[in-house]
Amino acid sequence: MSSAIKVVKRKDWEASAPSRAAGASSVEECGTAEFVRGVKTWVAESRGSRQAEAKLAVQFIRGLDVRNGLDHSTQVAKSYLTTLLVVGLIILSAHGATRAQSSTPSTEITYSRSGD
């Protein structure tokens, strides 16, 4: 929608006032109707674009929330798995170290009877 803006100075306005008086009402009504139609169109378009932007913003925010929630739960699961793996390795290495430090091998265990 393109419209031309005409700047009219006070001297020009007063000079053309008597000549406009006869047919001015129909011209003004036509110009006013065009103006009103243009403003209504602009308002409707801006309202529609604002609603579309709001809808996209909500979808974008919901998408971020879902992805952020998945990312967070994935990170938590990885940390739990890492912790479990480390604890398991510590237990296995402690068990192996305990066996290696035993003073008597399992084949040389002697049993003594009390009272013999």
For the chain, give every domain's residue range.
Answer: 24-97
Rounded distance between C-alpha atoms, residue 2 and residue 34, angstroms: 12
Whole-structure pTM value: 0.33
- 31-50, pLDDT tens digit by residue? 788 888 999 999 999 999 99
Q: Residue 26, Cα to own-chain centre: how many angstroms?
A: 53
Distances (CA, A) of 12 to 27, 92, 100: 18, 101, 111
59-109 tens-digit pLDDT: 888 776 656 666 777 888 899 999 999 999 998 888 776 666 666 555 555
Query: For residues 38 and 3, is the Cβ–Cβ distance under 8 A?
Result: yes
Alpha carbon of 38 to those of 8, 27, 46, 84: distances in Å? 22, 16, 12, 69
